[in-house]
Amino acid sequence: ILNWIERDLRKISDAARRIGHGELNVALNLKRQDEIGQLGQSFMTMQHQLGTDALTGVSNRRGFAARLHQRMRPGPAGAVAGFAILLIDLDHFKQVNDAMGHPAGDAVLIEVAERIRACFGAQDTVARLGGDEFAVIIDGSSTTAELEARLQAVEAAVVQASHRVDPEALVATGF
């Protein structure tokens, strides 16, 4: 029994060390229902929160950097698999916060993040880098035409999001 407990505590200790060094994709795989299992689950929750933007639920800057670092590692054949990066900056976003308040600005950011995420697959990484800046790591090798089509889809989605959120209604109702 002591070996079993010691083995799982070492897994948790190793995971804590790796998370502390900025690694955000540490698999713990503890199948326990006791305090050690709860501790392991707490580490997994902490790992997720470290890489996730609390407002929008997409990756944050740290999560984006970790995923980018992971994508840049050479694969088994020694080559890096193809990917593209899309950077998105919302023009005039400060004016929303200044005119309507931060709750309205937050609502816009949440909606924009959801719209951007809807344009991409689960293998792609959508992140809020900070403020009104978003980025996407698009996995796989896409042609220029495919990337341009995705860019147009994101632009259309963000424009649609800006029309869907009514900041005045949010302020008036106290959100």
Q: How far apart are CA 171 and CA 175, in angstroms?
A: 6
> Any catalytic annotation for residue 14?
no
Integer Cα distance of 137 and 124 in angstroms = 6
Residues in the chain: 175
CA-nearest of 27, 133, 15, 22 to 85 is 133
Q: CA angle, corner 117, sides to 114 and 119, nearest 5?
A: 115
Of the listed 91, 132, 139, 166, which one is catalytic? 132
C-alpha triplet 32, 38, 44: angle, nearest 5°: 100
Active-site annotation, residues? 132
